[in-house]
């Protein structure tokens, strides 16, 4: 019987702990941001309709996002900082989902076959220092918030 009482006591402690964490607003693990960045990149990959050299083959759920081809991370801040897919002959639309990469500093898609409009949501990337999109097939205007002063 003492064994059952111990198990019940431990289960109760875990339940109380989980409830208090929910009420207090328990912080996410330090890798939570990398998990959300990975989800955004996997969604971005779905908009790629042509990848003749399988450049994005490493972009899989089972792979650490920091090991994705063309991706660099700041492991101290747990964020994707660079998405550099230069001269990969990728084709597809530039998904607005890239705006979920809020730690992104460099977005380089030079020399591919991206088409459509440049999503206005890119302007939400407050840490973005370099946006290089030449050599693609974009049309339309660039969001005013991306224009140089």
The total of structural domains in the chain comes to 1
Rounded to an integer, what is the distance from CA 62 to the centroid of its chain?
Answer: 15
Residue 102, in any domain of the structure? yes
Residue 34, in any domain of the structure? yes
Residue 14, in any domain of the structure? no
Residue 144, in any domain of the structure? no
Q: Which domain holds residue 49?
A: 30-138
Confidence of residue 14 (pLDDT cuts 50, 70, 90): very low
Residue 105, in any domain of the structure? yes
Confidence of residue 142 (pLDDT cuts 50, 70, 90): confident
pTM: 0.77
Mean pLDDT of 3-11: 38
Which CATH number characterizes residue 96's domain? 3.80.10.10
Mean pLDDT of 71-82: 95
Q: Average model confidence (pLDDT) for the chain?
A: 83
Residue 112, in any domain of the structure? yes
Residue 9, in any domain of the structure? no
Question: 89-141: per-residue pLDDT in tens?
Answer: 999 999 999 999 999 999 999 999 999 999 999 999 999 999 999 999 999 87
Question: 42-60: per-residue pLDDT in tens?
Answer: 999 999 999 999 999 999 9
Residue 30 neighbours by CB under 8 Å, 6+ apart = 78
pLDDT for 2 beyond 80: no
Residue 75, in any domain of the structure? yes
């Amino acid at each position: 019987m003492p064994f059952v009482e111990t198990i019940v006591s431990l289960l109760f402690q875990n339940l109380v702990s989980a409830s208090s964490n929910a009420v207090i607003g328990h912080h996410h693990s330090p890798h939570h941001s990398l998990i959300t960045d990975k989800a955004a990149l996997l969604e971005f990959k779905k908009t790629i309709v042509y990848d003749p050299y399988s450049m994005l083959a490493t972009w899989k759920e089972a792979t650490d996002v920091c090991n994705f081809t063309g991706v660099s991370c700041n492991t101290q801040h747990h964020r994707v900082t660079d998405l550099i897919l230069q001269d990969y002959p990728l084709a597809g639309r530039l998904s607005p989902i890239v705006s979920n990469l809020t730690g992104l500093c460099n977005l380089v898609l030079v020399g591919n076959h991206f088409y459509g409009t440049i999503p206005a949501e890119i302007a939400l990337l407050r840490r973005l220092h370099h946006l290089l999109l030449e050599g693609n097939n974009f049309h339309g205007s660039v969001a005013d918030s991306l224009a140089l002063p």
